[in-house]
Structure 1
């Protein structure tokens, strides 16, 4: 029996990544916009800029947001 990852699992993973590396996180979620498509957003509580990513599907938007967060973490750790 294989386990199928849900959007809730993806959101929890992004939330955990953000919390571990940036501290206070208020919100990680996804919504549909008529003109753009799916938008994934991470909102921080310390005045840090919100991070967003879009995609044609909800899974793609969440994947793009996770990759963006990982890229920022990698860049931050390289400094």
Structure 2
């Protein structure tokens, strides 16, 4: 099985957010000198941004995906 690329992870996070929150403006990663890699999902006007950081871009994306899944799980439990 081929290794997942960061672009595949970004698309997966986008689909998760789109399916649950509706309006998604942006999902991506960037490098910050002091923090490291930052993964960010910018949602619509009714929600705030979700971010996660990590030592590598892949780690940051995994943390963001887990955070989104946790929010969806909590929302569905209520």
Q: Would you call these one fold, judging by a TM-score over 0.5?
A: yes
Q: Secondary structure at the match of 1:3?
A: coil
Q: Which residue of 2 aligns with 1:18?
A: 17
Map 1:25-36 → 2, pairs under 5 A: 25-36=24-35
Root-mean-square deviation (Å): 0.7
Find runs of 4+ consecutive structure 1 residues off by over 4 angstroms.
none
Q: For structure 1, which runs of at least 5 residues remain unmatched after alignment?
A: none
1:8 paired with 2:7, answer yes
Report the TM-score, using the length of structure 2 for normalisation: 0.97
Taking structure 1 as the reference length, the TM-score comes to: 0.96
Q: Which blocks of at least 5 consecutive residues in structure 2 are unaligned?
A: none
